[in-house]
Amino acid sequence: MQSKALFLDRDGVINEDLGYVHRAEQCVFVDGIFELVRSANAAGYIVAVVTNQAGIARGLYTDAQFHDFMRWMQGQFALNGASLDHVYYCPHHPQAGKGVLRQTCICRKPEPGMLKHACVELNLDMKASILVGDKESDIEAARRAGVGRTFLIGENDAVSLGTVQQAL
């Protein structure tokens, strides 16, 4: 039997997009994110982060620093009774990347690579899954991967995390 997923972009959805956040002291969680993830967990969704991380490509922080930060973030969710189950990320950038990280790839949103990888790895029913993003590139990646429902959130949009929570 296939599972359903709630895919969350990171910066701008889980935490405030303050520019290349990679340390605990930089992190400000978006209001309502813990409640949303708790509700998704209770409704049987696998919760997966899907995030472009150009800061790695630009040399602003390392792959190891990213993983340390994400472990800390997952711990913060656990302390709030919620579970971020999986993290998928793209460390590439086609123009600003350094060395081998300067490339056009299939994982950088709006390409659907991260979502398709998650689909295979987690045996997901993409039509029953949801993606929440704060950029059109998030929504385009979801569309290309066959995700059933998408929500674009942000300051200028009517959709809030509460609206997403009600849709679970």
So where are the chain's domains? 4-167
Neighbours of 157 (CB within 10 A): 11
Parts of the chain with a pLDDT under 50 = none
Catalytic entry in 11, 85, 134, 138:
11
94 φ, ψ to 5°? -70, -25
Q: What is the pLDDT of residue 157?
A: 58
CA distance 84 to 76: 10
pLDDT tens-digit series, residues 22-43? 999 999 999 999 999 999 999 9
> Are 11 and 52 contacting, i.e. CB atoms less than 8 angstroms apart?
no
Strand partners, 47: 6
Which tokens hold the place of 139? 């929504």
Q: What is the pLDDT of residue 46?
A: 98
Q: What is the pLDDT of residue 154?
A: 79
Task: Locate the DSSP E strands across the chain.
Answer: 4-8, 45-52, 86-90, 130-133, 149-152
Instruction: Answer whether 0.75 is exceeded by the pTM.
Output: yes
Catalytic entry in 9, 85, 134, 138:
9
Instruction: Confirm whether 31 is a catalytic residue.
Output: no
Q: Which amino acid is at 127?
A: K
CATH topology for 4-167 is: Rossmann fold (3.40.50)
Instruction: Confirm whether 11 is a catalytic residue.
Output: yes
Q: What is the pLDDT of residue 134?
A: 95
The Cα-based distances of 75 to 34, 41, 50, 57, 83 in angstroms read 12, 15, 18, 25, 9
pLDDT tens-digit series, residues 43-58? 999 999 999 999 999 9
